[in-house]
């Protein structure tokens, strides 16, 4: 009898007790999974080819295993017991695969060591079959794996999401241990996993992506079906965990690497950190192009998250430096330091994280005599690092004396002038610039060295083709060599005069060349003047020699017909105005003209000048020449609708700074415009503006109680405008796109409203104030006045629901339940809220059930805070006698006298509305500004454009049949409403998590 025949009959009959026992034991501790997997494999081997009740022992084992596995397929995720069973299954598949490999190795070894008769042809053939045919041998483990995979693939289409998740999870954990499987099964597995990466559940997509990534090696083409599906997830999946799973598991090759590098700009900081810590370190940076290295380092070193920045520096210090054989010079050469905008910051961050690198550097004389761009960059970075740490000993060790430094600069300057190869000239200019930056960090203790350096600087600045960055460095050195600011101005005025004297000495054959040379000299003078003014901080005195430069250089440049001279002239004039208030008042009209009629850089510099002067002197003092303060602000408002996103961002950032510094005479209007601008769909692509305002609003609101009170005053008005804007955007998206999800991203109406309410919450202000306090004081109780102002949001919202369109009304009613009203809310305000809610309900203005249910929940919460059981228990007659309630009852009476709401449900659309300060307002807006789509583009209007009071309309009478049907469906609608509200709150919470 064979070994299989010796299997005891009771082994198969005991499967229904043994296998469940192993599954039960595996749920208790994950440490013994390997032991349990081996026991299962042993049991599987014993059951092999044993018949019982019409089934083979192998079939009986498979049936019992699947029966026990089915019990965990429907269990919710993150259930520890179910997760342990899934790991047990994966371990069992792995053990079976390992046992098959061991058996195969033993068979091969046995075939090699067996003694065969060389003349026995049949024996030789048998040996060959034993050694060559065993790779695809059919074993009990391989058959079980194939059965298991086919069974799990059926669960990929299950209706229950947890069943789909568990099936994908088991396949993902077991796919590396599949070994050789049937080709048809392989392609079927890929096909169904590719379908699952589009599942609506993110956890299913994640495990399907992990499983797919482990099947990439089977594709001959790097851009095959599997790679295409994974790269699509990596780029477009909204869930950060799915993108992370693909990022960590996708095969890194030339076709996928560009998509992997894009994750350096992923919205999730954990994904960005994983890229630098786990994905990029094993990859040799030499495989990346210089442009890819620059983009990767720029994204990492400038990341807003400190953990990502540290991960990037760690990648450079531990991985890239290793690939460079610990040679800093070789690593620097790979960064193209001559043209790199990020190399300096990368080097400083590397030195900060690994200070032993600069401390072990030594620069001998031979190195100074044979400088290369990379070596000059390392020297400058090293000295700059020690200069920031104020380590005088290290600076003195590496920094040459002033005389030696001047001699090197002079020698390099001579080489540059004599060099005829244009490709080498940029290298010399870069080395000279690095040495000038080194000279800036010298104290010049030697008087002879100081004089020699000052003479050399004046000589170098006279070079006709000197780069602008060298002029800036020379200006810094001369400022350091000067006794004081007046001495610096005197020296630099002389330099400008010397430069201007070069023009008459020019002798050119062509008048065109003469004009060009004169233009270059004028530009150079204006550049020098700019750097002079940037380094002066004292108010200009009446007899200052700088006024001569203003008259002789700046004013002619502003009046010139050459655009480039106008741009430099406007910039220099703005710098003069920062030092002389009277000059600013006299020339503010000129800057306004540059904004209104200029283009390109002239327009941008004029706008920047106006914002800087307003921040320094205030709008009130500058607006006299332009008319009123409103005219001044209106000039800036018009820039918010600019097609140039940089101009729009500059205007928005400038207004935010003016508002933060309390430089705006009408802060309510400006704050409201910025709120609408922040959420407006037309600014969704302006990342600079959005990033600035994302920081500004919480910083402004939580800076002081007065600022938050300002936010509370305009909150409801801004929410109403945004509701109309975002509704119009939604309508346009549905009209022009087949898939509404493809439209521009941004906040929904509810998300925008909730965010504004959060910025208005005084409790958050109190908590932040306590956290920022220098002493460990407990959070102080929020004052009643602040709570009262916050509670007024509900009252203002309820009042506007009587006049706003149905879409806006729905947003306002849903907003009520977002307010954090509690027992601290004044009782009189709770009474006012109840009166308004009851009036709104009785008017029949709320027609949809979802909004009615939201209003009912708010009414219940108000009654609970009033400690009243039901609405019928309210003593309205008693409230009529309270003086504080008189205003609310008068408001309700005015509604009865002046409004008829019959057609409040009708909505109109407008044809064309411009952005803030726009030139065209549609007829629909002027006739019916309470339209649902009111002011989609008018939402960024200036304070001069006020909302019209909606015309009274009639509500359509409702038939008894329809009313009866609505009453019968009330209960069902309430359940649907609660479900939608729950999902909406989760979506809004996710959005707010992204904002913070």
Predicted confidence (pLDDT) per residue in 572-622, tens digit: 999 999 999 999 999 999 999 999 998 899 999 999 999 999 999 999 889
With residues binned 3-state (H G I as helix, E B as strand, rest as coil), the percentages for the chain, rounded to 5, are 70, 0, 30
Tokens of 517: 């040379």
> What b/e sequence results for 941-980 when a residue is b if at least 16 CB atoms lie within 10 Å of its CB, and e otherwise?
bbbebebeebeebebeeeeeeeeeeeeeeeeeebeebeee
**pLDDT bucket at 545, cuts 50 / 70 / 90:** confident
pLDDT at 682 over 90: no
pLDDT at 117 over 50: no
Q: What integer pLDDT is reported at residue 387 of this predicted model?
A: 93
410 class by beta-carbon count within 10 Å (0-12 exposed, 13-18 middle, 19+ buried)? middle
The span from the CA of 544 to the CA of 522, in Å, is: 21
pLDDT at 916 over 70: no
**By C-alpha distance, which of 621, 642, 645 is closest to 632?**
621
Q: What integer pLDDT is reported at residue 53 of this predicted model?
A: 56
CB 784 within 8 A of CB 826: yes
**pLDDT bucket at 49, cuts 50 / 70 / 90:** low
> What b/e sequence results for 872-908 when a residue is b if at least 16 CB atoms lie within 10 Å of its CB, and e otherwise?
eebeeeebeeeeebeebbebbeebeeebebeebbebe
Phi, psi of 485 (to 5 degrees): -65, -40
Contacts of 491 (CB under 8 A, 6+ apart): 454, 458, 478, 482
pLDDT at 478 over 90: yes
Q: What integer pLDDT is reported at residue 79 of this predicted model?
A: 86
Q: What integer pLDDT is reported at residue 219 of this predicted model?
A: 60
Tokens of 785: 């006045």
Q: What integer pLDDT is reported at residue 908 of this predicted model?
A: 38
pLDDT digits (tens, 9 = 90+) for 625-667: 888 888 899 999 999 988 899 999 999 999 999 999 999 888 9
pLDDT at 911 over 70: no
CB 361 within 8 A of CB 378: yes
What is the radius of gyration, based on Cα positions, of the chain?
38
The pLDDT of 123-150, averaged and rounded, is: 63
Neighbours of 495 (CB within 10 A): 21
Place of tokens 């002197």: 617
Residue that wins the pLDDT comparison between 46 and 352: 352
DSSP 869: S
Alpha helices in 776-899 (DSSP H): 784-800, 806-816, 827-843, 849-865, 876-880, 886-898
**pLDDT bucket at 736, cuts 50 / 70 / 90:** low
Q: What integer pLDDT is reported at residue 346 of this predicted model?
A: 94
**Of 47-56, 101-110, 185-194, which has the strongest mean pLDDT?**
185-194
Place of tokens 């482990």: 214
The span from the CA of 531 to the CA of 474, in Å, is: 10
**pLDDT bucket at 467, cuts 50 / 70 / 90:** very high
pLDDT at 130 over 80: no
pLDDT at 323 over 50: yes
CB 616 within 8 A of CB 579: no
Tokens of 357: 């690198």
Residue that wins the pLDDT comparison between 946 and 986: 986
The span from the CA of 747 to the CA of 731, in Å, is: 15
Q: What integer pLDDT is reported at residue 659 of this predicted model?
A: 94
Neighbours of 651 (CB within 10 A): 26
CB 903 within 8 A of CB 932: no
Q: What integer pLDDT is reported at residue 744 of this predicted model?
A: 42
Q: What integer pLDDT is reported at residue 995 of this predicted model?
A: 43
Q: How far is CA 327 from the centre of its chain?
A: 35
In the chain, the percentage of residues whose pLDDT exceeds 90 is 44
Contacts of 545 (CB under 8 A, 6+ apart): 489, 490, 493
pLDDT at 745 over 70: no
pLDDT digits (tens, 9 = 90+) for 77-89: 778 888 899 999 9
pLDDT at 928 over 50: no
pLDDT at 671 over 50: yes
**pLDDT bucket at 925, cuts 50 / 70 / 90:** very low
The span from the CA of 985 to the CA of 750, in Å, is: 9
Angle between helices 57-73 and 140-154 (to 10 degrees): 40
The pLDDT of 433-461, averaged and rounded, is: 91
Q: What integer pLDDT is reported at residue 107 of this predicted model?
A: 75
**Three-state DSSP class for 539?**
coil
The span from the CA of 387 to the CA of 358, in Å, is: 12
Q: What integer pLDDT is reported at residue 699 of this predicted model?
A: 93
Q: What integer pLDDT is reported at residue 262 of this predicted model?
A: 95
DSSP 291: H
Please count the residues of the chain: 996
Neighbours of 415 (CB within 10 A): 14
Min mean pLDDT across 136-140, 501-505, 892-896, 953-957 is at 953-957
pLDDT at 125 over 50: no
Q: What integer pLDDT is reported at residue 314 of this predicted model?
A: 96
pLDDT, the chain, mean: 82
The span from the CA of 947 to the CA of 898, in Å, is: 18
Please provide the DSSP assignment of 1-64 as one string: --TGGG--HHHHHTHHHHHHHHHHHHTT-STTHHHHHHHHHHHHHHHTT--BTTB-HHHHHHHH
**pLDDT bucket at 748, cuts 50 / 70 / 90:** confident
> Can you give the pTM of this predicted structure?
0.75
Q: What integer pLDDT is reported at residue 518 of this predicted model?
A: 87
**Three-state DSSP class for 955?**
strand
Alpha helices in 661-704 (DSSP H): 667-679, 687-701
Question: Within a 13 Å sphere around the CA of 268, how many CA atoms are in the beta-carbon half?
Answer: 18
The pLDDT of 316-334, averaged and rounded, is: 93
Please provide the DSSP assignment of 105-140 as one string: HHHHHHHHHS---TT-HHHHHHHHHHHHSGGG---H
Tokens of 242: 């799915």
């Amino acid at each position: 009898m064979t070994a299989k025949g010796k299997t005891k009959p009771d082994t198969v009959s005991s499967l229904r007790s043994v296998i469940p026992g192993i599954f039960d034991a595996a749920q208790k501790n994950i440490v013994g999974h390997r032991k349990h997997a081996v026991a299962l494999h042993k049991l599987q081997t014993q059951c092999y080819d044993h018949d019982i009740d019409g089934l083979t022992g192998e079939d009986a084992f498979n049936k019992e295993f699947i029966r026990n596995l089915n019990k965990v397929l429907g269990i919710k995720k993150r259930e520890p017991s179910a997760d342990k069973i899934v790991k047990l299954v994966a371990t069992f598949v792995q053990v079976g695969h390992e046992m098959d490999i061991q058996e195969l190795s033993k068979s091969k070894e046995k075939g090699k060591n067996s003694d065969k008769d060389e003349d026995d042809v049949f024996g030789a053939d048998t040996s060959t079959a034993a050694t060559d045919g065993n790779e695809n041998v059919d074993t009990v483990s391989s058959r079980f794996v194939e059965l298991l995979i086919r069974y799990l693939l059926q669960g990929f289409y299950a209706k229950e999401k947890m069943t789909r998740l568990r099936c994908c999870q088991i396949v993902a954990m077991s796919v590396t241990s599949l070994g050789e499987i049937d080709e048809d099964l392989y392609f079927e597995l890929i096909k169904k996993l590719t379908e699952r990466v589009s599942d609506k559940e993110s956890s299913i997509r994640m495990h399907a992506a992990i499983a797919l990534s482990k099947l990439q090696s089977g594709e001959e083409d790097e851009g095959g079906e599997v790679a295409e599906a994974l790269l699509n997830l990596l780029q477009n999946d909204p869930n950060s965990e799915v993108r992370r799973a693909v990022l960590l598991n996708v095969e890194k090759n030339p076709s996928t690497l560009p998509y992997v590098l894009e994750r350096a700009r992923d919205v999730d900081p954990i994904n960005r950190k994983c890229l630098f810590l786990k994905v990029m370190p094993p990859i040799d940076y030499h495989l990346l192009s210089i442009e890819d290295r620059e983009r990767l380092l720029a994204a990492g070193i400038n990341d807003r998250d400190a953990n990502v920045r540290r991960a990037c520096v760690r990648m450079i210090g531990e991985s890239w430096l290793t690939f460079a054989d610990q040679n800093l010079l070789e690593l620097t050469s790979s960064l193209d330091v001559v043209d790199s905008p990020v190399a300096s910051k990368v080097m400083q961050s590397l030195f900060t994280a690994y200070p032993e690198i600069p401390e072990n550097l030594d620069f001998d004389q031979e190195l100074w005599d044979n400088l290369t761009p990379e070596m000059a960059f390392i020297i400058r970075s090293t000295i700059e690092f020690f200069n920031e740490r104020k380590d005088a000993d290290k600076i003195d060790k590496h920094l040459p004396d002033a005389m030696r430094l001047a001699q090197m600069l002079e020698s390099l300057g001579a080489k540059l002038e004599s060099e005829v190869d244009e490709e080498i000239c940029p290298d010399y200019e870069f080395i000279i610039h690095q040495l000038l930056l080194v000279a800036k960090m010298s104290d010049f203790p030697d008087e002879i060295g100081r004089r020699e350096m000052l003479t050399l600087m004046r000589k170098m600045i006279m070079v006709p083709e000197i780069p602008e960055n060298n002029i800036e460095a020379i200006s810094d050195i001369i400022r350091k060599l000067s006794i004081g600011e007046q001495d610096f101005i005197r020296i630099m005025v002389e330099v400008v005069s010397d430069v201007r004297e070069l023009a008459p000495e020019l002798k050119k054959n062509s008048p065109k060349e003469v004009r060009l040379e004169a233009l270059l000299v004028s530009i150079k003078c204006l550049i020098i003047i700019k750097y002079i003014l940037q380094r002066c901080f004292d108010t200009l005195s009446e007899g200052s020699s700088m006024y001569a430069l203003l008259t002789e250089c700046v004013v002619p440049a502003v009046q010139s017909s050459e655009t480039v001279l106008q741009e430099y002239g406007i910039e220099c004039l703005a710098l003069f105005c920062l030092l002389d208030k009277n000059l600013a008042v006299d020339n503010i009209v000129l800057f306004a003209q540059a904004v209104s009629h200029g283009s390109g850089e002239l327009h941008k510099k004029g706008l920047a000048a106006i914002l800087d002067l307003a921040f320094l002197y205030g709008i009130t003092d500058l607006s006299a020449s332009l008319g009123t303060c409103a005219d001044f602000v209106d000039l800036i408002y018009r820039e918010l609708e600019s097609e140039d996103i940089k101009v729009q961002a500059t205007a928005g950032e400038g207004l935010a700074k003016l508002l933060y510094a309390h430089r705006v005479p009408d802060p309510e209007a400006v704050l409201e415009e910025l709120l609408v601008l922040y959420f407006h769909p037309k600014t969704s692509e302006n990342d600079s503006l959005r990033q600035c305002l994302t920081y500004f609003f919480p910083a402004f609101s939580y800076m002081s109680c007065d600022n938050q009170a300002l936010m509370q005053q305009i909150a409801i008005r801004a929410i109403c405008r945004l509701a109309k804007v975002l509704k119009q955007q939604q309508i346009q998206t549905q009209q022009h796109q087949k898939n509404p999800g493809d439209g521009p991203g941004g906040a929904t109406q509810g998300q925008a409203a909730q965010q504004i309410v959060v910025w208005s919450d005084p409790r958050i202000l109190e908590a932040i104030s306590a956290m920022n306090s220098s002493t460990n004081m407990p959070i102080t109780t929020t004052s009643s006045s602040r709570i009262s102002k916050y509670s007024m949001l509900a009252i203002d919202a309820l009042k506007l629901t009587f006049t706003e369109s149905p879409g806006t009304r729905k947003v306002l009613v849903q907003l009520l339940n977002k307010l954090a009203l509690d027992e601290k809310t004044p009782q009189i305000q709770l009474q006012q809220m109840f009166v308004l809610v009851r009036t709104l309900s009785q008017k029949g203005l709320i027609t949809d059930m979802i909004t009615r249910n939201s209003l009912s929940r708010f009414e219940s919460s108000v009654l609970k805070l009033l400690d009243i059981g039901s609405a019928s228990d309210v003593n309205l007659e008693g409230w009529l006698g309270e003086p504080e309630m008189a205003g609310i009852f008068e408001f309700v009476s005015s509604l009865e006298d002046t409004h008829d709401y019959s057609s409040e449900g009708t909505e109109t659309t407008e044809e064309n509305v411009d952005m803030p300060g726009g030139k065209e307002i549609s007829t629909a807006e002027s006739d019916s500004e309470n339209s649902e789509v009111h002011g989609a583009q008018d939402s960024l209007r200036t304070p001069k454009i006020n909302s019209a009071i909606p015309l009274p309309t009639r509500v359509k009478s409702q038939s008894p049949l329809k009313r009866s049907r609505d009453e019968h469906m009330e209960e069902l609608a309430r359940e649907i409403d609660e479900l939608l509200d729950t999902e909406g709150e989760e979506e809004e919470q996710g959005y707010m998590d992204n904002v913070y």
